[in-house]
Chain A
């Protein structure tokens, strides 16, 4: 579901760690409701880019806007409230809080405190976890913990969701569950950036694919066309 206005615009984003250049000159335009895949070998800068978008890292160069609003200087919680949600490579639940409370937290601080509990239950219904609302996160399976992360993100009513390796370590069937969930979310109007190593998932899901290598964007376009590019095969998939 895409074709709307530009939601996220990144221009010349760069990030250095000391003398190491982790990202350089990244440009990106994402339309409202678009599904974008971001791939690249380990250490190519995918997560660094995500962290620059979410505000976990401050970019050294470039400019990022969300729905026209500059994000520079905004802390992650302010970006989250603007509708930029993310999940983490490893699920990061609030371990001492129940599943329900995990989802109530974003609602309590997102202007929905009065109806936090019913709204949290709605979010849990969306990810099919409402039956485990009273459990602790450690009692959930790996895929359920991923779904909990997504429920927490959904609670933010995101305009953009960044799913950072949301399917890592899952079985084939579990990957399909998360894919279906992301597609449902996208169908409801949320743009999704998927960072993923599982090629089947990312090509099935994405309308457009970006490839990072060594902190630079080396290719962009329709997934199958991009994956067929010689430089992508060479740098990312390996040449036979």
Chain B
């Protein structure tokens, strides 16, 4: 037996977590300062677009990347967050932060319910069920007058927020904080017992159950957490755009990008979704301002084809030894 074959002992968990939160917070502050120095309103807009995908990709990765359950209904969960914020605004006049909290609760409960109903399905059957969920939710919203039905709903954004140069900067900062939070939650899951259990489920669910892993409970935690974070990603959308309608909130691009980004960056790792989201969303933004936004899904499609053919384990997988 050779002790050298063993991996080097990791740093204590508390220190490992602290280093992430400190590093990510400093990086976020640096990004905020940099964009303020550039002073272009478009910077906030484009940054928000990229960061919402960081949150979505990190959320998807918890169930899809670690546990291997491919959720095609990201748009449904995100729109649940969006419309929860709209309802809270319409009913109580609440702003973006309470909207985010409400979205987390409602989309989390939706995730839990979806998990109970669908987690006995495996593979493509689970994916189809989640896709159906998004269609059902869209039909409900289209026929719900209180939130504007198919006409959509308007949200009056405040002109300014104390401490921020514009509301655009504020909403960007909110999404930046959410991106740090979602990535940190993904990382915490990966390093925890929950993450190890989800990985065991992904590799072999029957064997995981046979060695004492409570598979259904872990999957329900994952669907709840993943759903809540997707809802959180959608909550600021009405405040960012000032207007939201079902076609926009349930757009297929959200579902496709949310799957493509972790796969391209490296699914099943906390950093992979960040890399994939930043790369793909930045490319899409660049295409939108230089050529046409109609090219966005075309870019996603080609990137997916390229990565499936050349680097099926994503960018991080490409750089790892095995």
A152: which B residues are within 8 A, CB to CB? Answer: 211
Contact indicator B197/A54 (Cβ below 8 Å)? no
How distant is the Cα of A152 from the Cα of B199 in the complex, in angstroms?
A: 16
Neighbour of A106 across the interface among B2, B199, B211, B216, CB < 8 A? B211
| Distance between A12 CB and nearest chain B CB, rounded to angstroms | 25
A21 CB within 8 Å of chain B: no
A131: which B residues are within 8 A, CB to CB? Answer: 1-2, 5
Knowing A97-B199, A131-B2 are in contact, say whether A105-B322 is a contact too (CB < 8 A). no
Contact indicator B211/A100 (Cβ below 8 Å)? no
Q: Mark A198-212, 1 if CB is under 8 A from B, else 0.
A: 000000000000000
Closest to A104 in B: B196
Contact indicator B213/A109 (Cβ below 8 Å)? yes
Knowing A92-B206, A105-B200 are in contact, say whether A81-B2 is a contact too (CB < 8 A). no
B203: which A residues are within 8 A, CB to CB? Answer: 93-97
A134 CB within 8 Å of chain B: yes
How distant is the Cα of A8 from the Cα of B221 in the complex, in angstroms?
A: 33
B204 CB within 8 Å of chain A: yes
8 Å CB interface, A90-119 against B: 92-98, 100-101, 104-106, 108-110, 113
B2: which A residues are within 8 A, CB to CB? Answer: 131
Contact indicator B6/A94 (Cβ below 8 Å)? no
B16 CB within 8 Å of chain A: no
Interface of B is mostly: helix
Neighbour of B1 across the interface among A54, A88, A125, A156, CB < 8 A? A125
Knowing A77-B214, A105-B211, A109-B197 are in contact, say whether A92-B5 is a contact too (CB < 8 A). no
Contact indicator B193/A94 (Cβ below 8 Å)? no
- Of the four ranges (under 10, 10 to 19, 20 to 34, 35 or more), the interface on chain A belongs to 35 or more
Contact indicator B210/A109 (Cβ below 8 Å)? no
Knowing A97-B199, A97-B200, A108-B197 are in contact, say whether A155-B6 is a contact too (CB < 8 A). no
Knowing A77-B212, A81-B212, A134-B5 are in contact, say whether A88-B207 is a contact too (CB < 8 A). yes
Closest to A96 in B: B203
Neighbour of B212 across the interface among A80, A125, A136, CB < 8 A? A80
A216 CB within 8 Å of chain B: no
8 Å CB interface, B281-322 against A: 322
Contact indicator A96/B199 (Cβ below 8 Å)? yes
A76 CB within 8 Å of chain B: yes
For chains A and B in complex, what number of residue pairs have CB atoms within 8 angstroms?
Answer: 94
With most chain A CB atoms within 10 A of its CB, the pick from B197, B211, B212, B268 is B211
How distant is the Cα of A133 from the Cα of B9 in the complex, in angstroms?
A: 13
Contact indicator A156/B211 (Cβ below 8 Å)? yes
A159: which B residues are within 8 A, CB to CB? Answer: none
How distant is the Cα of A41 from the Cα of B211 in the complex, in angstroms?
A: 28
| Distance between A141 CB and nearest chain B CB, rounded to angstroms | 16
A92: which B residues are within 8 A, CB to CB? Answer: 204, 206-207
8 Å CB interface, B258-276 against A: 268
A86 CB within 8 Å of chain B: yes
Q: Mark B191-209, 1 if CB is under 8 A from A, else 0.
A: 0010011011011101111
B193: which A residues are within 8 A, CB to CB? Answer: 108-109, 113
A75 CB within 8 Å of chain B: yes
Contact indicator A133/B196 (Cβ below 8 Å)? no
B216: which A residues are within 8 A, CB to CB? Answer: 75
| Distance between B270 CB and nearest chain A CB, rounded to angstroms | 15
How distant is the Cα of A97 from the Cα of B204 in the complex, in angstroms?
A: 11
Contact indicator A56/B212 (Cβ below 8 Å)? no
Closest to A135 in B: B5
Closest to A86 in B: B210
How distant is the Cα of A154 from the Cα of B190 in the complex, in angstroms?
A: 26
B12 CB within 8 Å of chain A: no
8 Å CB interface, A168-197 against B: none
A100: which B residues are within 8 A, CB to CB? Answer: 6-7
Knowing A94-B199, A105-B196, A113-B193 are in contact, say whether A77-B6 is a contact too (CB < 8 A). no
How distant is the Cα of A92 from the Cα of B204 in the complex, in angstroms?
A: 7
How distant is the Cα of A209 from the Cα of B236 in the complex, in angstroms?
A: 67
How distant is the Cα of A7 from the Cα of B200 in the complex, in angstroms?
A: 29
| Distance between B182 CB and nearest chain A CB, rounded to angstroms | 23
Given contacts A75-B209, A85-B211, A152-B211, 13 further A-B contacts (CB under 8 A): A75-B216, A76-B206, A77-B214, A93-B204, A98-B7, A108-B196, A108-B197, A109-B212, A110-B212, A125-B1, A130-B1, A133-B6, A153-B211
What are 12 contact pairs spanning A and B, CB under 8 A?
A77-B209, A77-B214, A80-B211, A86-B210, A92-B204, A92-B206, A93-B204, A94-B203, A104-B196, A105-B196, A155-B211, A156-B211
Question: Which residues of A are in contact with B by a Cβ distance under 8 Å?
Answer: 54, 56, 75-77, 80-81, 85-86, 88, 92-98, 100-101, 104-106, 108-110, 113, 125, 130-136, 152-153, 155-156
**9 interchain residue pairs of minimum CB distance:** A106-B211, A94-B203, A92-B207, A131-B1, A80-B212, A76-B209, A130-B1, A109-B212, A134-B5
